[in-house]
Structure 1
Amino acid sequence: MTSAHALSFLAVLLQSTGKVMYGTFLAAIAPAQFLLISFCVVAGVFLVVARGRLPPGSRAAIVSVNVWTAVAFICFFYALKHLSPAAVGAIEIGIAVLVAVAAAAWQRRKRPAGRRPGATKLVVCAGIVGGCALLVPVELERAAAASWHTVFALVAAAIAGAASTLIIGSFRKLAASGWRPASILAHRFYLTIAVALVWLSFEGGTGSAGSLAFPAPTDMLTIVAVAAIGVMLPLLLLQFAVRKTDGLTLMICMALQPVLSFMLSMLSPAYQWQPVTLAGTLIVAGALLFDVFAGRRKPTPEPVSAS
């Protein structure tokens, strides 16, 4: 197991824990309110760490990071409000893997000398996508008895997966320009915070005078705890991981997310056990293990640096 695998798996474990905590303890908190508070906390911490400095170069890349981050997280937390953590993780990762394969093929066309995804990677991707696909009919069945919010949540989870893959190229450009992880995380969330504030105002999350309505102190502490465990620490670990491997391998590592989300959600009274969800997560886990052990038998060279 490489250091990129280890960093990614630890990030996924923390993300999965945060997702289950969010669904268990923050069901009454609006997604926009959680987004606004948590990303203000994350941005504030890293602005202090980075001393508020904006490194030179790659202005277009940091704008792109802001756009894709806003799309990914707003869609993600909207989906998480209406779907189970395992389903959100599986749909997100399934789409992310497909987009990563397409991006790798596109890079191959642009740079014929680049490495093509091997047969093992393609088999692993097929297994991950197949396992994730098992979860979609379960949620569509629930949608028929629930509301259109569930259908919109399925679409939102897919959009979040695509955005999470597209953002990797911008991360690489920033790293190549000398941006450190703390600097990226300090300046990554401006658009997300702005959109969350607008979203919250439409949901009635502001006071009578237009001021922000803060949650109760107990809920605020829970939001900060979930933000630290499920958002801040995973994002920091992934910033280090993305510098050590290619986008497709990173997405395959992230496929552990629905498996851990399913296992952790079984510890929460807020979620019900689903046999089909178990089958889908086991297929994803099997594909992931196959990739890890195949990599041990045939070590892959270090990734090329971003251009």
Structure 2
Amino acid sequence: MPSTTLPATLPVRGAAPLLGYAALTAALDVYAGNRLQSVDPLALAAVSFTLAAAFFLGLESVRNGPAQALRPLRAHRGDVLAVNLSTAVTWLSMLYALKYLEPAVVNVVGLAIGPVLTVLFGPLLRRGAVVLRAEAVASAGIVLSLAVLVWGSLTGRSGVGGVGAGAALLGLALTVVCGCAVTANVLYSKRLSEAGLGPRAVLSVRFFLTVGVTWAAALLGGPERIGPAALPGAVIAVIGVGLPLYLIQVGIKHTEPITASLLSALSPLFAYLLQLPDRRLSPSPLTLLCVVGITAMVGLGAAARARYGRVPREPGVRPAARESSRR
């Protein structure tokens, strides 16, 4: 029987938007890390997510009508709820972590554990998904680099210097929570994409929970906090919410979740470079070393996935993968 190329996601087509997402996420972390020293995180999130939600829901309603824009709430209730919950947890934990830690560290811990968790849980949430051996090796290397970064943050060797063990532990715990939520977000966004929802359709229904929670909490904390957050919130709505989330949704549509997680993990390299002009921070050789190591692991995993997508093979035959991914 002649060999046949099986339908597959397109890693090259998905790589460009995912790299754009990584760069914008880094810019967000550096900008927000600076602004959050004087602006309430909840007020900032309330403003930025309200603007982003209004834009995407309005755009989808104009193009397809309000009923069609809200249809995913009925047709895919469970996955939409999971995306809303993971979006809220991701952003709130990240914004608070930036008050305590170096942006590059928040970025790397929050995003780079994504490939590891995707290796573990991706095959469980998406039956038939294959995790390649090279991707598993890359994820193991990322775990090692993360362990070194955690040690550096606790011992004052990161860019922010000594912040105290309590603050460092709180910041690290929040970034771990953020990383778990990012992974869930990628997996459930992929499920919605595979169910036929385009990027705009997903974005139009993913912010409702975040908007409700942040406005309730911000107003309880004092309405006077909203004013100072208006301009930074508008900036973050563009560079940190709307555009990067659209890019990652496009990237997810054309790649496997593990590839999306690996390419997103390049963001710490961008964050390290962008944070250099920030006078609050000093260059950290340890952070740079770990970021470079993670970048190398990302390249290994992404290259393996690209080769996997190009290899002609018999229907039903997969290249070598981790044993657990076949169950």
TM-score range, shorter chain: 0.7 to 0.9
> SS of 1:278's equivalent?
helix
Matched, 1:125 2:142: no
> SS of 1:273's equivalent?
coil
Name the CA shift for 1:145/1:66 in 2 (closer, same or farther; >3 Å): closer
**Structure 2 matches for 1:183-202, cutoff 5 A?**
183-202=201-220
The two structures have a TM-score, normalised by structure 2, of: 0.81
Q: Which amino acid aligns with 1:73?
A: W
Contact 2:132–2:304 (CA under 8 A) maintained in structure 1: no
Matched, 1:54 2:70: yes
Matched, 1:41 2:51: yes
Q: Which amino acid aligns with 2:21?
A: A
In the TM superposition, residue 164 of structure 1 has moved relative to its aligned partner by 1.1
For residues 237 and 24 of structure 1, the distance between their equivalents in structure 2, rounded to whole angstroms, comes to 24
Contact 1:132–1:281 (CA under 8 A) maintained in structure 2: no
1:228 aligned residue (238, 243, 247)? 238
Residue correspondences, number: 291
Name the CA shift for 1:12/1:164 in 2 (closer, same or farther; >3 Å): same
Q: Which amino acid aligns with 2:120?
A: A
Name the CA shift for 1:215/1:301 in 2 (closer, same or farther; >3 Å): farther
**Structure 2 matches for 1:19-168, cutoff 5 A?**
19-51=29-61, 52=66, 53-56=69-72, 57-106=75-124, 111=127, 114-142=128-156, 145-146=163-164, 148-168=166-186
In the TM superposition, residue 296 of structure 1 has moved relative to its aligned partner by 5.5
Contact 1:13–1:257 (CA under 8 A) maintained in structure 2: yes
Name the CA shift for 1:220/1:178 in 2 (closer, same or farther; >3 Å): same
Unaligned runs of 5+ in 2: 1-10, 317-327
Equivalent residue number for residue 282 of structure 2: 272
Contact 2:45–2:233 (CA under 8 A) maintained in structure 1: no
In the TM superposition, residue 144 of structure 1 has moved relative to its aligned partner by 7.3
The two structures have a TM-score, normalised by structure 1, of: 0.86
In the TM superposition, residue 115 of structure 1 has moved relative to its aligned partner by 5.0
Q: Which amino acid aligns with 1:124?
A: A
Spell out, residue by residue over 1:74-132, the C-alpha distance to the aligned partner (whole angstroms, 9 max, x if none). 11111112111111111112322221011134358xx4xx3542221122112222222
> SS of 2:254's equivalent?
coil
For residues 137 and 192 of structure 1, the distance between their equivalents in structure 2, rounded to whole angstroms, comes to 32
> SS of 2:200's equivalent?
helix
For residues 34 and 76 of structure 2, the distance between their equivalents in structure 1, rounded to whole angstroms, comes to 40
More displaced stretch, 124-133 vs 35-44: 124-133
